[in-house]
Structure 1
Amino acid sequence: MLQPSDKSDVLSGSTAARAAPAYAKAALRLIPALVFLFILAWIDRVNVGFAKLSMLSELNLSEAAYGFGAGIFFVGYFLFEVPSNLLLEKIGARKTLARITILWGLNSVAMAFVKTELWFYVLRFTMGVFEAGFFPGVVLYLTYWFPAGRRARINGLFMTSFAIAGIVGGPVAGLIMSTMGGVGGFSNWQWVFILEGIPSVLAGLAVIRLMPDRPREASWLSKEEAQAIEDDLASDRKAVVSETSFKAALGDWRVWLCALIYFGIVNGNATIAFWTPSIIKETGVTDTLHIGLLSALPFIAGTVAMIWNGAHSDRTGERRLHCAIAALIAALGLAATGALIGSGSAALIALTVAAIGILAAFPVFWTIPQALLAGTAAAGAIALINSIGNLAGFVAPYLIGISASLTGTATSGLYVVAAIELVAAVLVFTFCRWKVVKR
């Protein structure tokens, strides 16, 4: 059984001071690149939400079919995520992340040529297969560079990519939708997939050349700086766990609890990712460019909340309440969005509150399972938690799609997602009481 540490400080002040410049360099070099990659991944994952505005009528797809297709992405994601992360532990992040990025970019371009409901499902499924392992791979990769006491802040900086993708992706997709229709004989929704898929292929090729796997391989770190980071991480491994096999992780009930909690959090995230354009349209906005611009507002607020919550959690060393309160805010915001749909700006404000809670929960959540795991256990269990949690990405869009098909509005689906988010908050508050290493 994995045992968390009761130690609150495993580094001496001199070691921490020696390592600080190395961490600053690592953050400056790695975080912007990883954020950029995830922005591309997120845009290529959720651009179907904008393409939907005209694709459904052109291909004669129902709202329920869209919800199923949007969600089946996560079935492929679930099936291939753990193998992908275990492979990353063996062959390194550079090769793994490059493969993932190139393949999802090509899949996005292929989406432009969908003609039938069946091929819509197939390509959404394979998008999940290709992207599987990217997010947990990055979470694992960051554990090779930053010790536990720095991870909420670092996770928060990386996970701003969720919000930045919403800020950038919405207006860009809206601009493409409003200006590219008919160009070259393609519809506007087809251009969304083409123009947002090509940059991912190019970025994947850059990863092969530029991304170091470990601190000792980074040409921009001195030998002393790289060794300082390695020493900190070695101290982490001794303090955090006593066993590092994936089999041991599978036998720890806390790993499965984390997966259940993450399922609740991701329900909210999938909702705002795939349905924000449609929710804004239900408030009375019809112009696609305006929908794109307005869809950025919840993500802007969520970015600020994410960074602040992660930094404050690191300063205080408190994880449980920071995660539980954020999930509670998300639940209240989603329920209010359902109640206020059709009320214009009030619904947009409620959606923004939901985004604040949803996005603020992520960076703190990931410090909780990381307090239990290292090595192969971390690689497999982080992927397991993420893959199970991301099944919510199938559940939430499908629930809301069924609600929209049956009732003409997403309201009842939003209430269900809000309830699931509330359960996640209660589970974090009640059960996640093990200690996290603090420096």
Structure 2
Amino acid sequence: MKDGGRLAAAIEVLDEVERRHRPVQVVLKEWGSSHRFAGSGDRTVIGNLVFDALRNRASLAAHMQDECPRALALATYVLTWDKGLEALTTVLNEDRHAPEALTEAEADRLAAAVPDDLQPWQAADVPEWLWPKFTAVFGGDAVTEGRALAQRAPVDMRVNTLKSDREKLLKKLGHTGAQGTGLSPHGMRIEAKPGLGRMPHVQAEEGYRKGWFDLQDEASQLAALLAGAQPGQQVLDYCAGGGGKTLALAAAMQNKGQLYAYDADRLRLAPIHERLQRAGVRNIQVRDPASSTLDDLKGQMDLVFIDAPCTGTGVWRRRPDSKWKLTEKALNDRMNDQVHVLDNAKEYVKVGGRLVYATCSLLPEENADQISRFLSANADFAPVSALDSWTAMLPGKPVPAYVTERGDLTLTPASTKTDGFFIAILERTA
């Protein structure tokens, strides 16, 4: 396929996503299945066009004075990918599979400079109704933080220290461009490529198949590290999902002690079994909510880790369609879920044990406000500074820019070059 056909395909996918409110990954997969002539390279470029259009939807729509799929795709090609108006004009005129030629108004807007009157939320590519919440967290840096969330994400990997080490793996993955991450001592990163760039398929690497490393964003790695799981402890991963943090906690425990993996949604828990086998983890019990309970664990855990259900505002780089689908009702639903999870998970923490609360959200209602609510209702818990844990476990590393008076931490793409993540640590005192 030439770029004209790829642009037409991207417009078709964006139209389907917008009109029928369907997940973008599903629509892209269906498009590929029904257009077998498109090679893997074509599908990659089409996916990049679609995702970049969604990442930058508000700013591109303002620039084009139009938010239809055609306007977004064309602006992505010319402006975001910096291909230029002349290249687009040639593509549209010479490829019979391309979209229709530019109108005079479209050409004028694509040739124009960035509008001076962009609203801050448009410049940041953040939904307008969420903008007050962003400024509450980030103040004068809110636009910068929003722009960073609108960029492509790197591929981050965590070295499985039960089987390998970072130095050895970086040599084996040298052909992929992998480098050590700046904060996590066990992280490796392949930086995102611009425009038509194609990322390597790391799941096909020998090291992945043999369990020497797993895919996990650096922020998620850091949350598991700051939890401070130790060999020989009793640990409960209460919202284990697919098991990424479970595996990181198991590695920190060196396969010693007992780690329980639980999730109220058994479908989210399903992938964990294959991952555990590949990683060579032996100290994990998976508790299926359909066939077992956690009653025997009450008051017994040295550590309970909660990766709470949330809006996912911190991972917009990876799921850009989700930010435009998010509603006030969805936020309220997630907040109710978080209250429920915290109030249940606390029962498993023993006196002197810790409760670690993390989300991949950047909204104060899901983060610091939830911890404040919990502490006001539970006098037998006290805050522990996650910042102190950071300086102890990551000596010499830059301190996060966003820290509450309690020492809760917020990580962001702009400030820590990670996904957006919130981490708070509590201790049961009585």
By percentage of residues, which structure has more strand?
2
State TM-score, norm by structure 1: 0.23
Structure showing greater Rg: 2
